[in-house]
Structure 1
């Protein structure tokens, strides 16, 4: 079996996908922009072939695929587990007739306008929204739905180029700039929560979890807030039902998924967006620590045809990603935290710069079976 992994070195822990595939006897073919000697040794050892090029250049990526086929034969799968490369994955699948989502299907799942149609078809509540076409149209939308409003790129995740409008005067200023490719929606009040997991090629969810976020990514990035998020040990029934509808309605198969919702104060849910890949940052490690499992090996088993009928798990711990930012004064030093947290501290590390805006400059991964104690530890880490 030949599997192409795009950018297998990022995020840093994703090399474990390549290692897990090699353990299953797969020829792992790496495609990235990093020089071979800069890859960590475990990743170099896991790769049967490696092609370093400008992966942003589709022609260069196609040349790499041709080289892989010349060296190893037919390609069975292409994956990256990374939002940035999902479009490239799909295009290369179409170009080289590889199984998996193709461009039209991926575009429908990744654009907010496409998601809205799929949410409605799956009977999952979502905010009203319209692609921006004209000033008059946007003003009519504002009259119908009131303020605040949120403008987001139709294609894109996170807070990049996303902004909130709270008044008619602010709207006038926004309309003075180009908004081609934007969607406008009412601002939804609520806590951002997720339904995350791994689904097999026959649509069976073999692992599921849910995370609760301290703030919306737009507010975190623009306000440079200290962010944290943690997993639930028990998933609310209503959230699980809606999440499963999304996975089924979007036709997600043989992949990780990350579905975000607003959880309103009354306990109801409103879908925010879907990502056809694992949740970002180091969340795959958090999944492992929460249940003492290995989702990297689990994915590799699934991809190589294992039905996973023997796989069971229990979410034994709440695991939190707790961030700090450089240049900010905190009440407890790192050394004091290490002593106070004890064996609840799993990992401390710098966050890659490209992720730091949304996830902080430094990260503590902590776990505890008791949510109250976990919450106290979060407060200790971020107290100023």
Structure 2
């Protein structure tokens, strides 16, 4: 099997995807915009070949790279980047080279938030009321239906960039006047706690691994307010969350892919869909999958690509938590104090690449515990200011 991996060097913690593929005998062919010498040793050892382009945004260069690989290695069987930013590019290349997987027609429902909302509604899953707005009249129509505050976000966007919470008419007028020149969706503000349903499906769309996380606050608030955050995995998934999560996976026909589906919990058993992401969850969450259950999800994905359909036998042994810190804050406890008190629980303290730091902080503490009370104690110690 030949698999083309777009931008295999980023993010750095995704390197095991390539090495696990190679271990199973897959020929991994990399395309990136940095010299081969800049690749990590793990990536270099995993790739059968590497093709450097000047700019990954230059689609013609990517087509040329794929053509070269076909000439040298034969048909491309899979193409992947595991990156939201390149999702549409991946889809275009799959269409052009007749490669299995998501195609451009799928982007309407897995990249555009308006399209996601349509799929959720058809599946009978609650969503926040709203629509794409182009004019002040459109926006006022949403406000009339939902009241203030409302949230405006790019219909086709990545993360919480260029996302706004609008609290009154003055802010609404300012948004309409200054909004970027692309489609925005406006929704009623939903008050609740964010939960995610995460996992991996086989080639037939069956879930072979799943878990769930809860977040101290939404990424929009973290980015817009410059806050730190924490989020953690659940040892037991609430049955209502798992039910609506599985319904969403089925509705979006997720096949041979990771999924990360976000919901607001608005009541003891009520969940409102926020959005769906057909790729591994961001940051270090795939590592947290592994730490929480003592598994290797990178190997599991490689096995799925190679044809595995057997569900993974695993147990959620721990809550695994990510707690961020930002350099702009004056924290009470030093890194050394944190390690002295809780070093036995802490697994990693990664420095976050700059492109992710607004959401994930400048550094993060990844730790695991068996009980939520211990998780809250450690998080409070890390975040005390």
Question: How does the TM-score come out when normalised to structure 2?
Answer: 0.97
Q: Give deviations 1:216-258, integer Å, cap 9, x for gaps.
A: 1111011111111000000011110110011100011000000
Give the count of matched residue pairs: 383
Of 281, 284, 292, the residue aligned with 2:283 is 281
Q: Give deviations 1:97-117, integer Å, cap 9, x for gaps.
A: 101111011232210111011
For 1:166 and 1:82, the matched residues in 2 are separated by: 33
SS in 2 for 1:3: strand
CA contact (8 A) 2:208 2:309 kept: no
Q: Does 1:37 align with 2:34?
A: no
CA contact (8 A) 1:132 1:180 kept: no
CA RMSD of aligned residues (A): 1.1
Q: Give deviations 1:326-350, integer Å, cap 9, x for gaps.
A: 1322111111111111320100121
Q: What pairs up with 1:75-154 in 2 under 5 angstroms?
A: 75-154=76-155
Q: Give deviations 1:280-331, integer Å, cap 9, x for gaps.
A: 011000000000000000000110012235x300000000011111132211
| 2:305 counterpart residue number | 303
Deviation at 1:24, TM superposition (A): 0.4
Deviation at 1:265, TM superposition (A): 3.9
For 1:128 and 1:143, the matched residues in 2 are separated by: 11
Structure 1 range deviating more: 272-281 or 141-150:
141-150
| 1:24 counterpart residue number | 24
| 1:61 counterpart residue number | 62
For 1:326 and 1:134, the matched residues in 2 are separated by: 39
Of 181, 184, 188, the residue aligned with 1:182 is 184
| 1:263 counterpart residue number | 265
SS in 2 for 1:343: coil
For 1:117 and 1:337, the matched residues in 2 are separated by: 46
For 1:221 and 1:58, the matched residues in 2 are separated by: 30
CA contact (8 A) 2:321 2:366 kept: yes
SS in 2 for 1:97: coil
For 1:231 and 1:61, the matched residues in 2 are separated by: 37
Deviation at 1:134, TM superposition (A): 2.3
Deviation at 1:206, TM superposition (A): 0.8
SS in 2 for 1:350: coil
For 2:124 and 2:232, the matched residues in 1 are separated by: 27
For 1:8 and 1:168, the matched residues in 2 are separated by: 46
For 1:32 and 1:102, the matched residues in 2 are separated by: 21
For 2:110 and 2:308, the matched residues in 1 are separated by: 27
Provide structure 1 residue ranges, at least 5 long, that are not aligned to the other structure.
none
| 1:219 counterpart residue number | 221
SS in 2 for 1:221: helix
Deviation at 1:59, TM superposition (A): 0.6
Structure 1 range deviating more: 324-333 or 197-206:
324-333
CA contact (8 A) 2:346 2:365 kept: yes
Provide structure 2 residue ranges, at least 5 long, that are not aligned to the other structure.
none
For 1:349 and 1:284, the matched residues in 2 are separated by: 14
Q: Does 1:198 align with 2:163?
A: no
Deviation at 1:72, TM superposition (A): 0.5
CA contact (8 A) 1:301 1:308 kept: no
| 2:377 counterpart residue number | 376
For 1:307 and 1:203, the matched residues in 2 are separated by: 9
CA contact (8 A) 1:36 1:50 kept: yes
| 1:234 counterpart residue number | 236
Structure 1 range deviating more: 124-133 or 292-301:
124-133
